[in-house]
Amino acid sequence: MALNQETILNDDSFLVSETDSKGNIIFANDEFCRVAEYKLDEIIGKPHNIVRNKDMPKAAFADLWDTIKQGKVWNGFVKNNTKSGGFYWVFATVYPFTNEKNEQCYLSCRRKPSSDEVQKYGELYKTMH
């Protein structure tokens, strides 16, 4: 992958990751690892923002954290980085839950957004910085 090259998800892509209450990755599925270009052992224990793209407005993540800390589900469009410096867009749904150890965790499930959605939110996010 070349620097700043877009990876477009497959139509049936389903990226899943789980974080602890501080946002550190405790699980990621193979598809997440493939698209983000990380091996599982490279990202376990790392902050999920390891894939955060600089084009994402801080307000989007403030809204995400405000929502999930209230125990509510958050949905939104996110531009993430790949390990090699490229990027990819997802439509994310983040679910707060309490695990078997009674710890707060967050499960994020992501799918491919449409090209119209990518264009719309790419333009919107430029106005939010």
Parse the chain into domains and list their residue ranges: 24-126
* CATH architecture for the domain at 24-126: 2-Layer Sandwich (3.30)
- The structure's pTM equals 0.92
Q: If pLDDT is split at 50, 70 and 90, which confidence band does 77 have?
A: very high
pLDDT at 129: 67
How many Cβ atoms are within 10 Å of 10's Cβ, its own excluded? 11
Which residue, among 60, 78, 85, has the nearest Cα to 6 in the 3D structure?
85
Q: Tokens 């084009």 appear where?
A: 55
Give per-residue burial for 85-122: e unless 16+ CB within 10 Å, then b: ebbbbbbbebebeeeeeeeebbbbbbebbeeeebeebe
